[in-house]
Amino acid sequence: MARHGQYSSQTTTNDRNFNLPTAVGTFLVVDAINIITPAGTTPDSGTRNPCTPTSLAILDWTHSSVDTAAMPTEFAYFTQNTYLSSPTQSQIAFGPWPDDTYVVEIIGKIQPAAISATNPNTF
């Protein structure tokens, strides 16, 4: 059963690659991604800056290197493959490359993690 939620993680300075958090489950659909400013601030204490979804080709063309690092304003999946078995569906790229360690708020639908290895069912 999919559930809607709001989860956060952090960017790595000068690294455009970002793994979607998996502590509570696997993202099935990402509805929105917000970069929280100022850097290091929690979502409820800072300003939410929405990222625009785009393609990896556009990010490669418009934000091709770390030389233009700034607060990210766009994101793209490394693949548009939506099969759950695809390991790359859990990783996105940001553009521009993050110039600081920003808190990233991800809003979407997840498949909750199994209760345990011997009990894979969820509520």
Residue 123 reports pLDDT greater than 70: no
Residue pair 6/103 in contact (Cβ under 8 Å)? The answer is no
Output the DSSP codes for 61-78: HHS-SGGG-BS--EEEES
Residue 82 reports pLDDT greater than 70: no
Cα–Cα distance measured from residue 97 to residue 26, given in angstroms and rounded to the nearest whole number: 24
The model carries a pTM of 0.82
Residue 88: the pLDDT is 44
Residue pair 59/93 in contact (Cβ under 8 Å)? The answer is yes
Residue 115: the pLDDT is 73
> What does the pLDDT look like over 23-75, one tens digit per residue?
777 787 889 999 999 998 988 999 999 999 999 999 999 999 999 999 999 99
Other residues' Cβ atoms within 10 Å of the Cβ of residue 106: 22
Q: Where are the beta strands (DSSP E) in the chain?
A: 3-10, 17-19, 25-37, 47-50, 52-53, 74-77, 91-95, 103-112
Bigger pLDDT: 123 vs 119? 119
